[in-house]
Structure formats: structure tokens, C-alpha cells
Amino acid sequence: MASPGHFSGNPKTEWLSDPGKPDREMRLLEDLSFTDLDGRVWRAPKGSVINGASIPRPLWASTGSPYTDDYRNASVVHDVAYDDPNIPRKDADKMFFYACIAGGCSILQAAKLYAGVRLGDWLSKVKKRLPFSRSMLLYRLPGQQDAQEAELRAKYTLIATEIDDRLNEESSFEAVDALVESRLK
């Protein structure tokens, strides 16, 4: 594969605390950008607030949290791109795949991370179609999951297994995307 692109540097951030929210948001203290293989510059400007939520939290045990590993920088520029209403979600997700590789991920790891963000998009569409449920209000013990989380984990496990079985380190983005999208229908 040709160079997947490059980052302008490492993210400089500060953790934000808000009494009404989980403390997982950060603010960028300096600009960060990713230049993809086509020369497009994906900017994450100073002051942007990021939270790594593009990969649904129930998948963090499988994929890793957004603030760890070689895809950390990719998660920063993806968060900003995802929040931009002028950027199609699918374009931001494709950039994330290549940014993961540029950050040091293997193609198979990037493919699984791509599956995670595509599942985040799928979940946002599914949630819009689901009726409100009382179970959403009930307290759950740590480790318990509702039916939606179980379905999400099952879908991810199926896709990750297929990635391992059907793809390799020479696989193209198009092959990765075709496999992932076939499982999100």
C-alpha cells in the first residue's frame, strides 16, 4: 500500500470535567491535522472538543478505548470530521481507516476499527427506529448489557471474525468496506 497519509504532529489536549457528564471529553490545545493519500487535509482545530464516541462504548472491550493504542490520533481527527455537517459520515469513516494505518495500526486492526465506527453509524440509525423502552431507564450493574448492546457486540464479533478469516495485510479498503457493509444490512 502507498503511504496512507500523515499527521501534522501529536494531539495536545486537556481533559474536561462537567458535573453532568462522564469525564471523557478533551479539548485540543493546538491544531492537529491528517493529510490523506489523496492530499486532502482533515483538520482538527485548536479548541475542538473530542470524546472518542464514534466507536460505541460497548465495543471498547473488543476494540480498545479511543484514547489508547496506535489509532489515538485517528480518533481525534475522526471525531472532528464526524461532527462536521458538511462531511458525509462514510467519508470520515474511510479517512479513519487510513489514519489508523498512518498511526501505526496494521490493515487488519484498521479494518476492525473501521467496523467499529461503521457500527456506531449503524447504531445511530437503529436507535432512531426503536421505540422508547422502560428498560432504558432501569439501572444496570456493571457488565450487564441490554439487548441492543448484545446485538451490537454480536455483530462486531461476526465482522471481526470474518475480517480475520477473509482479509489479510494486503487487502484494499474496498474489500474491507464491502465486507463490513454486507453485515450492516
Q: What pLDDT, in 10s, does the model give residues 34-88?
A: 999 999 999 999 999 998 767 777 787 788 777 778 999 999 999 999 999 999 9
DSSP per-residue letters across 172-185? -HHHHHHHHHHH--
Q: What is the pTM of this model?
A: 0.87
Q: Could you give phi then psi for residue 16, rounded to 5 degrees?
A: -110, 145
pLDDT of residue 24: 81
Q: What pLDDT, in 10s, does the model give residues 1-37?
A: 678 999 999 999 999 998 877 778 899 999 999 999 9
- Return d(Cα 107, Cα 91) in angstroms, integer: 18
- Return d(Cα 152, Cα 93) in angstroms, integer: 18
- Band the pLDDT of 139: cuts 50, 70, 90: very low
Q: Could you give phi then psi for residue 27, rounded to 5 degrees?
A: -110, 135
pLDDT of residue 129: 55
Q: What pLDDT, in 10s, does the model give residues 170-179?
A: 999 999 999 9
pLDDT of residue 127: 67
CA 96 to chain centre: 7
**Cβ neighbours of residue 127 closer than 8 Å, sequence gap 6 or more:** 148
